Amino acid sequence: MLKMTRRRWIADEVSGDTAALVGEHAAHLARVLRAEVGQEFDIATGDEVRRGTITTISHDRIEFALGTKQHRRPRSKPFDAPKITLALAIFKFDRMEWAIEKCTEIGVARIIPVIARRSDAHLATAAVKRHERWQRIVRQAAEQSRRLAPPEIAAPVKLKELDSAGVVPTGALRVVLAESLAGSEEGTRLADVLQSLPTADEVALAVGPEGGWVSGELAWFHESGWVAASLGDTILRAETAAIVATALALDALR
Q: Is 64 exposed, middle or buried (0-12, 13-18, 19+ CB in 10 A)?
A: buried
Q: In whole angstroms, what is the distance from residue 243 CA to residue 235 CA?
A: 14
Q: Which residue has the higher pLDDT, 50 or 166?
A: 50
pTM: 0.81
Q: In whole angstroms, what is the distance from residue 194 CA to residue 191 CA?
A: 5
We find that the CATH architecture of domain 83-253 is: 3-Layer(aba) Sandwich (3.40)
Lowest mean pLDDT among 30-44, 190-204, 215-229, 236-250: 190-204
We find that the CATH architecture of domain 8-69 is: Beta Barrel (2.40)
Question: Beta 173-177 vs 227-229: how paired, if at all?
Answer: parallel
Query: How many residues can be counted in the chain?
Result: 254
Would you say 88 and 242 are in contact if contact means Cβ atoms under 8 Å apart? yes
Kindly list the domain boundaries of the chain, sorted by start residue: 8-69, 83-253
What percentage of the chain has pLDDT greater than the value 90? 56
Q: In whole angstroms, what is the distance from residue 49 CA to residue 101 CA?
A: 22
Quick one: pLDDT band at residue 169, thresholds 50, 70, 90? confident
As a whole number, mean pLDDT of residues 172-188 equals 72
As a whole number, mean pLDDT of residues 92-116 equals 96
